[in-house]
Structure 1
Amino acid sequence: MSQPTDAYALLVQRGFVPVELLRTMRPKDWIKNSFVFAAAVFARDAAGRPLFLDPTSFGMVFGAFVLFCMAASAIYLVNDLVDIEKDRAHPKKRHRPLASGRLPRSVAVIAAIVLLGSALPLAFVIDWNGTSLLQNSDFGLALLFYVVVQGLLYSFFLKNIVIADIFTIALGFVLRTVAGALVLDIPITHWLLICMGMLALFLGLSKRRAEMLLLQQNATSHRRILTEYTLPMVDQMIGIVIAAAILAYTLFTTTAETMPHEPFPLMLMTVPFVVFAIFRYLYLVHRYEEGGNPSELLLKDATLTGSILLWGVIAVAVLLIAPV
């Protein structure tokens, strides 16, 4: 093992506060915030060129990504503070810095306040055009709504309501996508909401399924709502959502106004990669009981990562080459 890895392990073992704080902020999960780029990838400017080629537009979306990372990390800190006792009954989460006692609660509270106190004001000015701030605060309102729903309503209320807990998890992904459109004043199409909504529900249901299998008999002591679900019911929901997601994306590639349609709907070439990625994820969920953390699964499964990257390369190539 290399010396830097040994040094990092030593810091973790000794409970080095900055390292433990960073771990609690979940930098690996920041990949979820890449949903903010979705609208910019498929949108076009007035001249018909892909919007992601514009440096200013890309910079604004990247700024939105950073602000969502800050807000999401603050929410992770709040969730871990609220669930600290329940996490101690979890076979994996009991090793988290707060649950294990390596990170003081006071440090987590201060960090959450600083992150939110910085991210929210910046969100209200990132797309400000010099006129009325209240008339140009769509992105700020979207981020504020995300924080309220995910950080407050979910942590203290919605996660204890069956079905509503899954919809709230899915809503977090949809809000990221919507916010990415709002920061650039891109029209939010029904295809954007349907495709991202179905994908988000699939990820949320897979998360619940993984938790049920991991906790099994100890589910009640960690999260009471898990007793309201059964594996057959969750599997049936996943099947419905997958079918709807694939159908919605296929229709999007063939009917959306921003997609090329001559000499044929070229974006149809990306459908097999989307289907493969979904099936691969489903395979990992069932065969290896994964799905509890989509970010970790994406980072450690090369086949899943490769299929998504291939989808991205082909989609960008089609948008660059083919006219609308």
Structure 2
Amino acid sequence: MSTTSTALVAPPTRLGGLVRTARPRQWVKNVLVAAAPLAAERYDGGTLAATAVAFVAFCCAASAVYFLNDVLDANEDRAHPDKRLRPVAAGIVPESAALGGAAALAVAALTLTLAWQPVAAGVLAAYLLINVCYCRWLKHVPIVDLAVVSSGFLLRAVYGGAMAAVPLTRWFLIVIGATALFAVAGKRFSELARLGADGLTARPSLDQYSVSYLRFVWQAAGTVAMTVYCLWAFPAHSLTIIPFGLAFLRYAWHIDRAAAGAPESVVFGDRWLLGLGGVWVVLFVAANG
């Protein structure tokens, strides 16, 4: 009788589960804390240090929210074909440990912020409070769930500005807010277009939307973002309008194909989007030089 060798796979550890629950792949979203200093043309050492601290603090805050979310959604996740593998749902990380991790990370984020720039602590506290409400109730309320998720991106940018003591203009806030809604509605559109046709949705709130409605939202938000950016950019930064607009159209192409369910994967998986982003940065910096 022939025998075959099998590879031994070590069982998941609690430490590994805690790391997975923190969602380190999602930390890329926190680079938005650098948006305000970049827009304000602030590249000095103090600003760079403040931005680095802001990034670390917001990573802690965002991960605290992920820990809480996984505890509150554990029962639903266990019935989901993919989410059942999340460490809390799978029993790798006890709920008590996840709640303790959430509290520790939230305290760490607030402590770091208070030590660096106390005025920014209010922004971070607002982010945490809004997301606690989202995890507990608001994720099931149509329209409000889109607004809350979008506000998370806006608050990242506002927090970065507060940490670096950079004043924020109405142009900046509108462009960031509209772009965030564009991406969030596009994500929901992609999820519903891919899964809704089979009567299966990854989120309960998706059952209350239609593909046509979500298409209207992401198209309207994208139009607002591009229009306001053009009004701000002309004439000093006119050349940056070209890569900015093309990047929006490229991302909208992904949404229209229902391929924007994971925004970070879209951005980093599309070399054309990355190239347009690089061209935009070069033109923006050159215009300020």
Regarding TM over 0.5, the answer is yes
Q: Which residue of 1 aligns with 2:254?
A: 284
Q: Is 1:226 equivalent to 2:206 in the alignment?
A: yes
Q: Secondary structure at the match of 1:100?
A: coil
C-alpha spacing 1:305/1:92, structure 2 compared with 1 (3 Å):
farther
Q: CA deviation at 1:246?
A: 0.6
Q: Is 1:317 equivalent to 2:286 in the alignment?
A: yes
2:277 partner amino acid:
I
Please give the residue correspondences for 1:133-212 in structure 2 after superposition, counting only pairs within 5 Å.
137-150=118-131, 152-212=132-192
Cα distance in 1 for residues equivalent to 2:65 and 2:9: 28
Q: Is 1:92 equivalent to 2:82 in the alignment?
A: yes
Cα distance in 1 for residues equivalent to 2:53 and 2:219: 36
Q: Is 1:32 equivalent to 2:34 in the alignment?
A: no
Q: Which residue of 1 aligns with 2:267?
A: 298
Q: CA deviation at 1:96?
A: 2.2
Q: Deviations over 1:120-165 (max 9, x none)?
A: 12211212xxxxxxxxx32011001101001x11111211111011
Please give the residue correspondences for 1:6-45 in structure 2 after superposition, counting only pairs within 5 Å.
10=9, 14-43=11-40
Q: Deviations over 1:169-206 (max 9, x none)?
A: 11111111111111222222101110001001011101
Q: CA deviation at 1:110?
A: 2.1
Identity of aligned residues (%): 33
Which shifted more, 26-35 or 179-188? 179-188
Q: Which residue of 2 aligns with 1:130?
A: none
Mapped contact 1:15–1:103 kept (Cα < 8 A): no
Equivalent in 211, 216, 221 of residue 241 of structure 1 = 221
Q: Deviations over 1:75-110 (max 9, x none)?
A: 011111111222234443233222333333233222
The unaligned stretches of length 5 or more in structure 2 are: 1-6
1:80 partner amino acid:
D
Q: CA deviation at 1:66?
A: 0.8
Cα distance in 1 for residues equivalent to 2:192 and 2:281: 32
Q: Which residue of 1 aligns with 2:3?
A: none
Q: State the TM-score, normalizing by the size of structure 1.
A: 0.81
C-alpha spacing 1:218/1:176, structure 2 compared with 1 (3 Å):
same
Q: CA deviation at 1:266?
A: 4.2
C-alpha spacing 1:88/1:284, structure 2 compared with 1 (3 Å):
farther
Q: Secondary structure at the match of 2:230?
A: helix
Q: Which residue of 2 aligns with 1:67?
A: 57
Equivalent in 105, 118, 125 of residue 115 of structure 1 = 105
Q: Secondary structure at the match of 1:125?
A: helix
Cα distance in 1 for residues equivalent to 2:280 and 2:73: 37
Q: CA deviation at 1:251?
A: 1.0
Q: CA deviation at 1:291?
A: 2.1
Cα distance in 1 for residues equivalent to 2:263 and 2:135: 19
Q: CA deviation at 1:20?
A: 2.2
Q: Which residue of 1 aligns with 2:4?
A: none
Task: Give the CA RMSD over aligned residues.
Answer: 2.0
Q: Is 1:55 equivalent to 2:45 in the alignment?
A: yes
In the alignment of these two chains, the number of paired residues is 281
Cα distance in 2 for residues equivalent to 1:204 and 1:91: 23
Which shifted more, 26-35 or 98-107? 98-107
C-alpha spacing 1:17/1:214, structure 2 compared with 1 (3 Å):
farther
1:240 partner amino acid:
A
Q: State the TM-score, normalizing by the size of structure 2.
A: 0.90
Cα distance in 2 for residues equivalent to 1:91 and 1:241: 32
The unaligned stretches of length 5 or more in structure 1 are: 1-6, 44-49, 128-136, 255-264
Q: Which residue of 1 aligns with 2:73?
A: 83
Cα distance in 2 for residues equivalent to 1:200 and 1:64: 19
Deviation beyond 6 Å, 4+ runs, structure 1: none
